[in-house]
């Protein structure tokens, strides 16, 4: 990998990565007297796949929740697209262009795959409540346009055959794919994936890995992910930030992180002085 600069960098396989899209500056998050995150800084650059890893309890999910607006840190700054972001509700963060999936699937089991994915378009709908209720005029045109976008995502993720199936009837791996589809429906600049491979078998992991790479390549979507499967992380990621006990202990390319002694110690369970 070429040395990074303010304009971005080039990956080993020749992909061009842009400048900083999001920057976390000296983030500290406490719950009562317990520090979940302590003075962590890192950035996410346009077009890259950025992994956040660490042992259980390292603070990874807390960091993802800070990025997505669920948690507001007591100290530090969150910058997005060159602007400092103040405290925001999750729906406001979504309107900025940040979408996410969840470690525990958060879909509507009684609704069809298509309708679940359509909910990802809600923040983009502009027609008034009355016109939506009677499905007339601009609301009718708008829903047609949104449905066309959703159908393209359904084709992209190869779930055409289940588009009318209630989500509650689907196996776990397909539910995870539907959740990815719903996040993509929001057309995010930054896609946050919280353990997208959790609970999957080998074949399902291979499929999800392929789709993540395709989303990054074909849509140009910047991706930040938390994942416990180190093989997946090292294969997918351009850069990796490593957390342990709420602190950053490593940050760099997969090869750099692999050879970092502090990271090796954390994963091997070496005692901390």
pLDDT digits (tens, 9 = 90+) for 133-159: 444 455 566 777 888 889 999 999 999
Residues of the chain with CATH 3.40.50.300: 1-87+190-209+222-273, 98-187
Pairing of strands 190-194, 98-100: parallel
- The three-state secondary structure class of 210 is helix
The secondary structure of 127-182 as a DSSP string is: S-HHHHHHT-THHHHHHHHHHHHHHHHHHHTT-GGGTTSBGGGS-HHHHHHHHHHH
Task: Output the CATH code of domain 1-87+190-209+222-273.
Answer: 3.40.50.300
Question: For 66-82, what is each residue's pLDDT tens digit?
Answer: 999 999 999 999 999 99
Stretch 126-136: mean pLDDT, rounded?
A: 48
Quote the pTM value: 0.86
Over 50: is that where the pLDDT of 130 sits?
A: no
Stretch 169-195: mean pLDDT, rounded?
A: 92
CATH entry 3.40.50.300 includes domain 98-187: yes
pLDDT at 2: 39
């Amino acid at each position: 990998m070429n040395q990074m600069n303010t304009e971005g960098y080039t990956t080993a396989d020749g992909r061009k990565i842009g400048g900083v899209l999001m920057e976390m500056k000296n983030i500290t998050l406490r719950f009562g007297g317990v520090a979940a995150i302590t003075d962590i800084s890192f950035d996410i650059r346009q077009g890259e796949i950025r992994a956040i890893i660490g042992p259980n309890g390292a603070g990874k999910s807390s960091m993802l929740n800070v990025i997505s607006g669920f948690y507001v840190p007591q100290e530090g700054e969150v910058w997005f697209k060159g602007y400092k972001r103040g405290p925001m509700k999750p729906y406001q963060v979504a309107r900025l262009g940040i979408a996410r999936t969840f470690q525990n699937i958060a879909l509507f089991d009684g609704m069809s795959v298509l309708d679940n994915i359509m909910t990802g378009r809600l923040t983009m709908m502009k027609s008034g409540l009355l016109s939506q209720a009677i499905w007339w005029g601009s609301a009718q045109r708008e829903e047609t346009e949104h449905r066309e976008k959703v159908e393209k995502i359904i084709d992209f993720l190869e779930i055409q055959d289940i588009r009318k199936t209630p989500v509650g009837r689907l196996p776990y791996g397909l539910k995870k794919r539907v959740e990815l589809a719903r996040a993509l429906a929001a057309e995010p600049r930054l896609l946050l994936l919280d353990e997208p491979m959790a609970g999957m078998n080998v074949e399902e992991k291979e499929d999800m890995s392929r789709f993540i790479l395709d989303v990054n390549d074909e849509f140009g979507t910047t991706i930040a992910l938390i994942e416990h499967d180190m093989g997946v992380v090292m294969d997918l990621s351009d850069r990796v930030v490593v957390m342990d006990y709420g602190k950053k202990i490593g940050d760099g390319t997969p090869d750099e992180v692999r050879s970092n002694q502090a990271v090796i110690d954390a994963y091997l369970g070496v005692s901390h002085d």
